[in-house]
Amino acid sequence: MRHFKYLAAAAALTLAAVPFSMNAFAEGGASDTEPVKVEAVCEHINPADINGRAVISVPEGVSADVSIVYESPEYDAHSYYESSLEGGKSYSFDLEGRDNIGDDYRNYTVSVELTGGVYGVTSKAYTDTFSIPDGNDNPDSFCEKSYKFTVDGAESTSEWDVTLDEENAKEIAVHLDYVKLGDVNGDTNIDAVDANLVLGEYAALITERPSTLTPKGSIAADVNHDDVVDSSDAAKILAYYSASLTGGNPTLE
């Protein structure tokens, strides 16, 4: 049964690594329909001051935790929106305008965490800071900030990469489905901690106790690709770690 588990997880990873097409959103990503309006949690919004919005597109297969806070002369990281969103839709967040001059300013910071993908994991937060112009002082200056997220299994040194970076439009590829062999705990390092986790999983296996690893951790732990997590995997990880410390040529081969 355990052997089947690893084969199934490996097959899922292979499918997740297939690149997204240019029509990914039309084929099951975030909807191109009118965004769903999200209600603010801020207690003192003046509708007459609304002069912009953020639009966040969440792909299918994941959920998103979104936070928007602002800094102003009166507040530091004051909560404006706190929302948990389902995938396959776009969402809009109305924002008040302020000119960043002297003692009258407001800087917004949006933070987005995605959860889901093949392994049901949560990404590190993507953040962006911006301002919205004052519509009274700057007529015809309504500003829309667009954030379009995708999820893939692409290999990367970070959990997400910005693939489009324009002033008012960002596209962010979040690599929820990427597995780095040997990095069992997902901290981007391959070290003795990972080897100890492998040994703990091996001990659970031979004593018929439940798995100690997440599905993603199980794939990362099987560095020799024999569909079993055991002491040989731990030995390869320790050899890699030792080589990285001594200036050698670390490899998991």
One domain for residues 81 and 189 = no
One domain for residues 55 and 166 = yes
One domain for residues 68 and 116 = yes
What confidence category does residue 32 fall into, taking pLDDT thresholds of 50, 70 and 90?
Answer: low
Number of domains within the chain = 2
What confidence category does residue 11 fall into, taking pLDDT thresholds of 50, 70 and 90?
Answer: very low
| Token pair 């901290």 in the structure block, residue | 187
CA 181, 184, 189 angle in degrees (round to 5)? 75
pLDDT digits (tens, 9 = 90+) for 239-248: 999 999 998 8
H/E segment holding residue 70: strand 62-71
Residue 18 φ then ψ, to 5°: -65, 125
pTM of the model: 0.77
Q: Distance of CA 178 to CAs 59, 119, 173, 175, 208, Å?
A: 17, 10, 12, 6, 29
DSSP alpha helices (H): ranges in 23-154?
Answer: none
Running DSSP on this structure, what letter comes out for residue 113? E
Higher per-residue pLDDT: 247 or 22: 247
| Token pair 């599905």 in the structure block, residue | 215
Q: Which residues is 109 bridged to in the sheet?
A: 69, 129
Q: Tell me if 97 is assigned to some domain.
A: yes
pLDDT digits (tens, 9 = 90+) for 215-249: 899 999 999 999 999 999 999 999 999 999 998 88
H/E segment holding residue 27: none
Phi-psi label, residue 149: left if phi above 0, alpha if psi -120 to 50, beta otherwise: beta
Q: Give the structural domain span for 199.
A: 2-11+180-245
One domain for residues 97 and 222 = no
Running DSSP on this structure, what letter comes out for residue 10? H
Q: Tell me if 195 is assigned to some domain.
A: yes
Q: Distance of CA 115 to CAs 59, 83, 120, 123, Å?
A: 11, 13, 6, 6
Query: Which of 119, 154, 174 is where one domain is finished?
Result: 174
Please determine, for residue 129, whether its predicted confidence score (pLDDT) is greater than 70.
yes
CATH code of the domain in which 222 resides: 1.10.1330.10
Question: Cβ(148)–Cβ(171) under 8 Å?
Answer: yes
Q: How far apart are CA 32 and CA 55, in angstroms?
A: 11
CA 58, 20, 24 angle in degrees (round to 5)? 50
One domain for residues 121 and 221 = no
